[in-house]
Amino acid sequence: MAPSLLDLAPVVPVVVIEDASDAVPLARALVAGGLPAIEVTLRTPVALDAIRAIAGEVPEAVVGAGTVITPDQVTETVAAGARFLVSPGWTDVLLEAMQASGVPFLPGVSTTSEVVALLERGVTEMKFFPAEAAGGTAYLRSLAGPLPQARFCPTGGIGSANAPDYLALPNVGCVGGTWMLASDAIAARDWGRVEALAREAAGLKTLRAQV
């Protein structure tokens, strides 16, 4: 069985690509640093081109699409090469499209009722968003007792300082974040620095194993 998306790495970089030419070197730097699962958000006009480039030129990366909110985006991103899908929230229509896509997906939740509704539909892996604003580690810890079958990738307000607190929770498989994507490093195309920051983030796996 293929590994769960939540188990590929302790951190999933949440990438906003402004210049399509940055996609491949950025992905290579993240992979070299130990973060193979890369979420490219659909927040810029070049996002699909970036997913297509990474899928075609960086085969060791597991590139996915983030901020997926419509069935059309599901179709377009999978056609471009996305190997997983992430949404900030979900509806029945969007969930059906993601389930039919044939790739793993993480629908976004921020309430207990949303989690229960997904469990009813056979979905056990979810994005918890916006993590810090929605209750953070205390909220997720409270869910672990009554809903132990639900596993999460918290995203939103997570950085190097609080990521270990999330990863210590039994119902958290990984976290999403942007702290290894320093804006000045990307602007300067300093891929070596991005790789170094990614390696530090990947090192959280050791902490996870010790908890």
Burial 141-176 (b: 16+ CB within 10 A, else e): bebeeeeeebbbbbbbebeeebbebbbebebbbbbb
Helix or strand (DSSP H, E) at 52: helix 47-57
Whole-angstrom Cα distance, residue 197 to residue 29? 10
Neighbours of 74 (CB within 10 A): 24
Neighbours of 206 (CB within 10 A): 9
101 Cβ contact list (under 8 Å, min separation 6): 74, 75, 78, 85
| Catalytic annotation present for 127 | yes
185 Cβ contact list (under 8 Å, min separation 6): 191, 193, 194, 197
Whole-angstrom Cα distance, residue 30 to residue 194? 7
| Catalytic annotation present for 114 | no
* Catalytic member of 18, 39, 76, 125: 39
At 13, is the secondary structure helix, strand, or coil?
strand
* Catalytic member of 127, 132, 200, 205: 127
Q: Which residues are catalytic, by number? A: 39, 127
